Structure 1
């Protein structure tokens, strides 16, 4: 018996995908499940989700079936339909670089199968997939933040079958999207000095109590929580050490506008490293939603030096941006933006801050291209 498919799922990269700047999505017809690992290993016990429809953006007139020792996705004769998947990188600071795609169909049934791969603004031509048996690679969608793959099926007087697989072969994946990701360069003329991967999470009062070893007083009408900052790692950092091709980087953070020592946190130093991995969590507790809405997190990647003053490698600043600067007595928020020069976040910086406020209790990860000449907002 066939099973009707209908869903609306969108795939987002995992922390591992974001860290390694890679993404892979495979579907095993025999196992009726998806795999997300970058390597070729498969294991039904660790499949990301079961059933084809669990990962579809949309579907119509399509059903999973099994017959004559084969598993396949079926479209009955005289009908038309489609299946579609979407991958969303928005909010990660990453875009697609190159995409390799395999999607196999069974040509012996004669139905028409058309493949479409669409980015933010462009469509990639897929002539190699007309027969449905080749892997095609494309860089036409480089720079896109979203990717949607759709298969249109037209049965006419014949049946359509896609993703055929031996029914006992759980390893074979007739559908496979494999993409490399990259951090887009900043549009201004500032030199490129490296990238930094940061995770932030704003937690409410209840989780804050579990994180903090002491109870803080809570103002009437104001719920207080905590801001958790995970410094994951850096990439392609520029060396600012005149005596070495390597740096000794560490990260320090300030919570603005209060830039006192009580709101300063820093990581350990990674010696002689331009691609450091920290995976260290910094905690700002006793923080309210309003504090973060009207404030900013200033992040500096520094080069430690035992003999001289530590030098900055690059920086970024997370806030809602100047359009949301705290309003003055007469509500003139934008006019007062010049008073708060530290609310100058770029699009990706502001997007991560906004997502953290809107999705409280969730980790939000994003790569940031470090600024070479950021003016300190902490005095």
Structure 2
């Protein structure tokens, strides 16, 4: 234990945390367990990762030690005469959010000459260093706009070989978390050429089955061994949508989506219309059955947020396409062209 390891665990926000724009990660030394949960409860059912090494992004010369005489457990140096470190990483990439503020509550034991220094760093070169006393409550907005957060603890022995004690915890106190990372999150804004028109929270899940039914002309065949299944789309809620009714300063938004390629628009799914609302809650689910894994790699999921209008043509509020390639829609192959971009000012 305590050997050098890098490129380990990366924490990402859950769907609920994305919706609430908050993230929390805690570590309990007594149970040697990491927790990802917004409330104050700590129980085994909420465990995210068990084991300090399993839950760390990198670890070099740090081990968990138990002092049975004092009925205490803590993290400390596994090697003498050198500085050791352990770090944790949080990544928001892919969810459209960035860090706004970060608060780290950390505890350390009496050092007696030993030293512990915390480094917080982001992906834009932001960095701050904080010496850790008996406990520290670190609040910073210096990581504003970053999609990643890396917290690193550097542990150094004292001049007479005194070992540092990081995150000390009584063996009997299994509800105390001497490391508590809290962050508020903010929508990642795009460039000035793409106007901000709101946000849409969408959940995706692919459930794989063994075989796939494939239609070829008038015949239907079963291709054994081709991985396929159901792509499930959960339209959860919108937020801060653009108001298109200048009188009420509201919109009547609904969401529709297509699984491309779809020349005949047979995969179209649509939510209900929510009248006069800029923060609509839909909580509606759709399932695209018989979707092959190759369809996911080569196709696209296109999502539109429209403003419903009884008398006039419905107006596009915003849209996005979840894909890395081209897709077929309305009988022609295309990516997101400049003309499409004008009609679909992308919302996150």
TM-score, normalised by the number of residues in structure 2: 0.82
Bigger shift: residues 60-69 or 233-242: 60-69
Specify the alignment match of 1:374 in structure 2.
344
CA contact (8 A) 2:99 2:146 kept: yes
Aligned mates of 1:303, 1:284 — CA distance in 2: 24
Is it true that 1:241 corresponds to 2:245 in the alignment?
Answer: yes
Query: 57, 61, 72: which one pairs with 1:70?
Result: 72
Specify the alignment match of 1:114 in structure 2.
117
Please report how far the alpha carbon of residue 180 of structure 1 lies from its aligned counterpart in structure 2 after TM superposition. Answer: 1.2
CA contact (8 A) 1:6 1:53 kept: no
**Partner SS for 1:199:** strand
Query: 259, 264, 267: which one pairs with 1:260?
Result: 264
The structure in which a higher percent of residues are strand is 2
CA contact (8 A) 1:208 1:226 kept: no
Please report how far the alpha carbon of residue 252 of structure 1 lies from its aligned counterpart in structure 2 after TM superposition. Answer: 0.6
Bigger shift: residues 69-78 or 30-39: 69-78
Specify the alignment match of 2:323 in structure 1.
319
The structure in which a higher percent of residues are helix is 1
Query: 87, 90, 95: which one pairs with 2:93?
Result: 90
Specify the alignment match of 2:27 in structure 1.
27
Please report how far the alpha carbon of residue 220 of structure 1 lies from its aligned counterpart in structure 2 after TM superposition. Answer: 8.7
Specify the alignment match of 2:216 in structure 1.
none
Bigger shift: residues 232-241 or 199-208: 199-208
CA contact (8 A) 2:194 2:345 kept: no
Specify the alignment match of 1:342 in structure 2.
335
- When the two chains are superposed, the root-mean-square deviation of aligned CA atoms in Å is 3.0
CA contact (8 A) 1:254 1:298 kept: yes
Structure 1 residues 22 and 340: CA distance shift in structure 2, 3 A: same
Aligned mates of 2:211, 2:54 — CA distance in 1: 31
CA contact (8 A) 2:316 2:344 kept: no
**Partner SS for 1:185:** coil
Q: How does 1:1-379 map to 2 (within 5 A)?
A: 4=2, 8-67=8-67, 68-75=70-77, 77-127=80-130, 129-131=131-133, 133-156=135-158, 157-206=161-210, 217-218=221-222, 224-321=228-325, 325=326, 340-344=333-337, 373-374=343-344
Please report how far the alpha carbon of residue 175 of structure 1 lies from its aligned counterpart in structure 2 after TM superposition. Answer: 0.8
Higher relative contact order (CA 8 A, sep 6+): 1
TM-score, normalised by the number of residues in structure 1: 0.76
Per-residue CA distance 1:224-254 (angstroms, 9 max, x = gap): 5443222122111112123323323210112
CA contact (8 A) 1:246 1:273 kept: yes
Structure 1: 5+ residue runs without aligned partners? 210-215, 327-338, 346-370
Specify the alignment match of 1:365 in structure 2.
none
Aligned mates of 2:336, 2:309 — CA distance in 1: 30
CA contact (8 A) 1:21 1:180 kept: yes
